[in-house]
Amino acid sequence: MASCSNPPEANNGAGQPQEYPVYAVQNSQATLLASYPASLEGEQNVEIRPKVDGYISQIYVDEGATVKKGQLLFKIDAPQYQQEVITANASIKSAEAEVNAAKLQVANITPLVKKEIVTGTALQNAQYNLQAKEAQLAQARATLANAKTNIGYTTIVSPAAGVVGKLPNKPGSLVSPSSPVPLTTVSNIQKIYAYFSFDEKQFLEFSAKYPGKSISEKIKQLPAVSLVLSDGMVYPEKGRIETVNGLIDNQTGSVSFRATFPNPLGTLRSGGSATLQIPVSIASALLLPQKATFEVQGRKMVYVVNEKGMVKGKEVQVMDLFAGNDYVVKDGLKAGDRVVTDGMGNLKDSVTIKPVPVTNGSAH
C-alpha cells in the first residue's frame, strides 16, 4: 500500500528499474493553431445624439435592451419649438394677406395701364411688390416647416436594429447637439467583427503561402477561424477572414485584418476582447506532448531515454504554435527520440528506468 501511494522512484543502482511512460516522437501531419489578440465590434455601432436643445422627458428603453429599427427611444421636452410653430403660422397668415393685397393692386392697375391712364412703371412696381410679398410668404412657410422638423427631432427613434448601450442621462437631464456624450449607442450585433493584426513578417509569409493574384483572392483561401473568449471557452460559431487593411501601420509595423462571426444568440458584444485562432496545416511536424516538458531556468527541457534505458535532460526549442496538446519541435529532438512523459520530477541525469511505450499519452 505504501508503494502504491508514492510516485515511482527511478533506479539509482539498487533494485529493479522503475517503469516510466515513454513516448517516441515522430514526424506527422498536424494542424496548428496560430493565436492573435482580437478586439470585437458590432456590425453597426450608431451613436444616438439629440438634434435639438431640451430636457429628456421620457426614456423608453433600458440598457442592454434589444430594439428594432424605428423603435421609440427618447422624448425631449422642447417647448420653444412649439412656440416657433405658433409664430410661423401667424407669419404665414400675415404674409398671405399681404400677398392677396398685392395681387389686388396688380389687378386694379392692369386695366388702367391698358387705357393709358397710368404708366407701365406703376404696374411693374405693383408686380415687384407682389413678388416680394410672395417671397415673404414662402419664407414664412419654410420657417414653419423647420419648426415642425425641430418638433419631430424631440422624438428620437432607433435608426437601426440592435442592442442599447449605456444610458448616461436620466429624465430631466438637459441635452443638446453639442453634448460630448451621446444619449446612448445602438449596436447591431447580428454579426460581430473581430479585428486582429499580423506583423510585417507574418503578412509577407501569408502573402507567399496562399495562392492568388490579389490579397482578396488570398484571403478566400484561408480556412475558417475560431474565437476563444476571455473565459477560455471556444465560441461555437466559426468565422471567416474577409478584409485586410491596405496599409502597414508605420508606428506598429502591423497590418489589420477583420474576421466576421455570426452572433445569433447575442453572446458577443461590442467592445469585448478575445483570441482569434487560425488553423495552419503542416505536412510534416515533429510533435512533442506538452506534458513531457519541464522548465529549468526559463529553458524548456525533456528527459531523453537511450537504448539502455538511461535518461538525460535535454533542452528543446518549440514553435509558438500548438497542435492540440502537443508542441511542434524546432530543435533539440529528431524523429525516433524517446522522451519521458510523466514523473520527471523524480528523475535526474544517468538514472536508468524501465520504459513503457505510450501513444498520445496512453500506455500500450
Task: Select from 30, 24, 23, 27 the least CA-distant residue to 286.
Answer: 27
| CATH 2.40.30.170 domain extents, the chain | 32-70+163-282
Q: Kindly compute the dihedral angle of the four CA atoms of residues 174, 47, 263, 241, in this order, to the nearest 10 degrees.
A: -160
What is the architecture, at CATH level 2, of domain 80-153? Orthogonal Bundle (1.10)
- Alpha-carbon distance values, 122 to 34, 108, 127, 288 (Å): 88, 11, 9, 106
Instruction: Give the up-direction half-sphere exposure of residue 212: CA atoms within 13 A in the CB hemisphere.
Output: 14
Q: What is the pLDDT of residues 151-185, one digit of tens each?
A: 999 999 999 888 899 999 999 999 999 989 999 99
What is the architecture, at CATH level 2, of domain 32-70+163-282? Beta Barrel (2.40)
- What are residue 82's phi and psi, to 5 degrees? -65, -35
Asked if residue 340 lies in contact with residue 347, where contact means CB atoms within 8 angstroms, the answer is yes
Q: What is the pLDDT of residues 94-148, one digit of tens each?
A: 999 999 999 998 888 888 888 878 788 888 888 899 999 999 999 999 999 999 9
Looking at the whole model, is its pTM more than 0.85? no
- How confident is residue 364, by pLDDT bands cut at 50, 70 and 90? very low
Rounded Cα distance between 361 and 136, Å, is: 91
Q: Is the pLDDT of residue 357 over 60?
A: yes
CA terminus-to-terminus distance, the chain: 25
What is the architecture, at CATH level 2, of domain 2-25+293-363? Beta Barrel (2.40)
- Residue count of the chain, please give it: 364
- CA 154 to chain CA centroid, Å, is 32
Three-state DSSP state, 50:
coil
